[in-house]
Amino acid sequence: MKQAKLKQAPVPEYDFTREQQKNVYLPDEDTFLLMDAIYNFCDVKVNSALEIGPGSGVVITFTALNFQLSTYKARDVNPTAVQMTNETLVRNKLSPNCELGDMFTDLNQKYDLVIFNPPYCVGTCESLGVIDKALSGGANGREQIDKFIKGARGVVSEGGLAFMVAISANDIKDIIKCFDNEGMQAEVVLEKKLPSEHLHVLKIQHQK
């Protein structure tokens, strides 16, 4: 994919304790690629945003700042990540609004922008540490991705967008097909080859 020069925006301020460093997935190449995709390819009016699995909180903070949002939410299954996300929001003069929760459970509204950087690495997370569970997506890396595909239509507003990270090993063509089967249109808007993996960011919207 040939990519035009991207617009850049400042990364929010963040810091972490030793405990957070051991228990939270900190910003990495996929984080920055996801922020670039949101900043350059979000072409709809955004009044509200939701991030699933925010980890450090950098992406939801970046989104709230750059889209000047008053309505935003993040949720994570990791209590330490919830704590760090709220600290990152506050550090950047935003209200803390990250809660402990599993993906779409008990969400009672739709959002104009939904963000998900899933555990996409191929491998089981049984009996692994917290960081491993933030990375490992099951036998084909699709455990949480497939759950997101099934539920995205119910949380993305009409005219809204979702952005999701995946790698080539997750089978990008099949992911796009599965979204299509759920009434959602998905396309790769950014990608980056690393020595260990080939990152993709998908832009997802309701079928027209």
Sort 171 into a burial class: Cβ within 10 Å, 0-12 / 13-18 / 19+.
Answer: middle
150 assigned to some structural domain: yes
Instruction: Pick the closest to residue 54 from 7, 110, 95, 114 (CA basis).
Output: 114
Give mean pLDDT, residues 58-78.
96
Predicted confidence at residue 141, as pLDDT, reads 74
Domain extent for 87 = 18-206
Q: Tell whether the model's pLDDT for residue 128 goes beyond 90.
A: no
pLDDT for 117 equals 96
What pLDDT does 67 receive?
96
Residue 11 inside a domain? The answer is: no
pLDDT of residue 127: 43
- Mean residue pLDDT across the chain: 91
Distance of CA 1 to the CA centre of its chain: 21
The pLDDT, as a whole number, for residue 140 is 72
> How confident is the model over 33-42, as a mean pLDDT?
97
Task: Answer yes or no: is 5 within a domain.
Answer: no
Residue 4 lies in a domain: no
Whether the Cβ atoms of residue 204 and residue 182 lie closer than 8 Å to each other? no
Does residue 2 sit within a domain? no
pLDDT, tens only, 144-166: 999 999 999 999 999 999 999 99
User: Out of 133-137, 138-142, 181-185, 195-199, which region has the weakest mean confidence (pLDDT)?
Assistant: 133-137
Q: Which residues contact 86 (CB under 8 A, 6 or more apart)?
A: 57, 96, 97, 98
Residue 40 in any domain: the answer is: yes
Please indicate, yes or no, if residue 12 is contained in any of the structural domains.
no
Instruction: Report the percent of the chain where pLDDT is more than 70.
Output: 89
**Which pLDDT does position 121 carry in this prediction?**
73
Number of separate domains in the chain: 1
Position 202 scores a pLDDT of 98
CATH, residue 115:
3.40.50.150
In a domain, 156, yes or no: yes
Beta carbons within 10 angstroms of residue 187's beta carbon: 12
pLDDT at 76 over 90: yes
Band of residue 5 on the pLDDT scale cut at 50, 70, 90: confident
Count of Cβ atoms closer than 10 Å to residue 84 Cβ: 29
**Whole-number pLDDT of residue 2:** 56
